[in-house]
Amino acid sequence: MTDNTQNERFLRVDDVIKLTGLSRSTIYDKARIGKFPEAVNLGGNAKAWLESEVRNWMNERIQQRNNKTK
């Protein structure tokens, strides 16, 4: 196991909602069209997102905003 994997954490949809402020349907819609990280299948109907990917997505939005204001 690599160091990145050891520090990785899964976020369930309710955690992603709290972290991003997005609604459940927006998360799934954006993921479906490739504008949000894809969920990992945990088995059965259980899905989760990698925390690092969600945080990277958030940081990209912040960078886009900051680059527009320069």
* Residue 28 DSSP code: H
b/e per residue 32-55 (b: at least 16 CB within 10 A)? eeeebbebeeeeeeebbbbbebbe
Question: Is position 47 within any domain?
Answer: yes
Parent domain of 26: 10-67
**Long-range contacts formed by 36-41: CB under 8 A, 24+ apart:** 40/10
pLDDT tens track for 36-63: 999 999 999 999 999 999 999 999 999 9
Overall domain count for the chain: 1
Average pLDDT value for residue range 32-36: 98
Question: Is position 3 within any domain?
Answer: no
* Residue 36 DSSP code: S
- What pTM value is reported for the model? 0.86
Residue 14 in tokens: 């309710």
Residue 69 in tokens: 């204001």
Question: Is position 4 within any domain?
Answer: no
